[in-house]
């Protein structure tokens, strides 16, 4: 059968928070089958667990966050969540001593690297997938996002920022999980920001950790990062990374097709909420053998990283 997964051992990670700019300690812990993905803030007394459901997913302009009934939040979960989606990890406890997940280098690569170092293990329970049964299309002004029935997992993304640096590069990327490596092609694509926006955010006490160490920073007509881009279309690849994280918020990999134009976290989250809100749109499915599954999740080892020097 296609089995649920967790990590083989505890992983300790230290990084900087994008919003607070402070040092954050995070510990990833294995969980047993059917436990799901749990985020826990251990900086609060008593610690607060975040259960993901239609009422707890929240977004702001910069990230995806979770909110509980007491208005307590945990921010910037999307890159770690994209990592869990890409590696097919269904059960894990994420403990942080801050209101946000560390931003690392602005991509999912550090999380992928550390998880592959300790390894992934299978659990003795069926992995549950969301299979999309009906097309769902969400539009806001010129932005749109949609989910369609498809026997696999395929994503296409278009961006249009009306900026010479971004428009110079290709603005479209398509990823089919069966034929293209998420780890190699998407996981190291970094988030990006514009100097004018960062100055404004800093003035208002936001994005205090934002710098060239955790994002591609773009001026009016140039990239400020000394080493430039990791891919000529790194911007749209990162938008796809965000979407992969957002679409996994309920903890089940999707069997379907996602297409989007200029969508951000808010639209991705609205699409997922719309999908979930009508049980006619989806069904939970399991597979008794690997050949039946339209999505092949291999278990890459740390040796995979040595063959793919892309960081």
- The binding site for Zn ion (CB under 5 A) comprises 191, 242
CB 242 within 8 A of CB 268: yes
Helices (H), the chain: 78-87, 109-118, 164-168, 182-185, 195-203, 234-247, 265-277, 302-306
Is 204 catalytic? The answer is: no
Q: How far apart are CA 186 and CA 189, in angstroms?
A: 6
Cα angle 102, 108, 203; round to 5: 45
To the nearest whole angstrom, how small is the minimum distance from the Cβ of residue 79 to Zn ion?
6
Phi, psi dihedral angles at 223 (to 5 degrees):
-95, 130
To the nearest whole angstrom, how small is the minimum distance from the Cβ of residue 239 to Zn ion?
8
Q: Which is nearer to Zn ion, 161 or 287 (CB)?
A: 161
* DSSP strands (E only) in 19-163: 23-30, 37-41, 48-50, 57-59, 64-67, 73-74, 92-96, 120-126, 129-132, 136-140, 143-148, 153-158
To the nearest whole angstrom, how small is the minimum distance from the Cβ of residue 46 to Zn ion?
31
Q: How far apart are CA 93 and CA 7, in angstroms?
A: 10
Q: Which is nearer to Zn ion, 31 or 103 (CB)?
A: 103
Q: How far apart are CA 184 and CA 196, in angstroms?
A: 31
Phi, psi dihedral angles at 158 (to 5 degrees):
-120, 140
To the nearest whole angstrom, how small is the minimum distance from the Cβ of residue 99 to Zn ion?
17
Nearest residue to 260 (alpha-carbon basis) of 234, 278, 242: 242
The catalytic residue among 79, 238, 252, 265 is 265
Q: Which is nearer to Zn ion, 186 or 254 (CB)?
A: 186
CB 14 within 8 A of CB 27: no
To the nearest whole angstrom, how small is the minimum distance from the Cβ of residue 130 to Zn ion?
22
Q: Which is nearer to Zn ion, 100 or 242 (CB)?
A: 242
Phi, psi dihedral angles at 217 (to 5 degrees):
-105, 125
Q: Which is nearer to Zn ion, 90 or 242 (CB)?
A: 242
To the nearest whole angstrom, how small is the minimum distance from the Cβ of residue 264 to Zn ion?
9
Q: Which is nearer to Zn ion, 132 or 242 (CB)?
A: 242
**Which residues are marked as active site?**
265
């Amino acid at each position: 059968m296609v089995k649920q997964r967790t990590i083989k051992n505890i992983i300790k990670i230290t990084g900087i928070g994008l919003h607070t700019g402070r040092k954050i300690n995070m510990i990833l812990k294995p969980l047993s089958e059917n436990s799901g993905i749990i985020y826990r803030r251990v900086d609060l007394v008593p610690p607060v667990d975040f259960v993901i459901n239609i009422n707890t997913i929240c977004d702001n302009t910069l990230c995806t966050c979770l909110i509980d009934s007491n208005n307590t939040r945990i921010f910037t979960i999307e890159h770690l969540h994209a990592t869990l989606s890409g590696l097919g990890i269904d059960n894990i406890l994420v403990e942080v001593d801050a209101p946000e997940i560390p931003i690392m280098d602005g991509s999912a690569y550090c999380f992928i690297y550390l998880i592959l170092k300790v390894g992934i293990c299978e659990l003795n329970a069926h992995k549950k997938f969301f299979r999309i049964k009906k097309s769902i299309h969400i539009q806001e002004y010129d932005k749109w996002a949609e989910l369609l029935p498809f026997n696999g997992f395929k994503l296409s993304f278009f961006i249009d920022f009306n900026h010479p640096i971004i428009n110079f590069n290709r603005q479209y990327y398509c990823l089919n999980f069966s034929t293209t490596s998420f780890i190699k092609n998407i996981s190291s694509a970094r988030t990006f920001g514009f100097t004018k926006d960062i100055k404004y955010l800093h003035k208002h006490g936001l994005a205090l950790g934002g710098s060239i160490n955790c994002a591609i920073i773009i001026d009016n007509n140039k990239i400020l990062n000394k080493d430039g881009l990791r891919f000529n279309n790194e911007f749209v690849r990162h938008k796809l990374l965000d979407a992969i994280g957002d679409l996994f918020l309920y903890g089940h990999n999707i069997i379907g097709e996602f297409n989007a134009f200029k969508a951000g976290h808010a639209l991705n989250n609205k699409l997922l909420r719309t999908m979930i809100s009508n049980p006619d749109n989806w069904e939970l499915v399991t597979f008794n053998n690997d050949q039946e599954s339209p999505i092949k999740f291999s278990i890459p080892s740390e040796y995979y990283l040595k063959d793919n020097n892309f960081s």
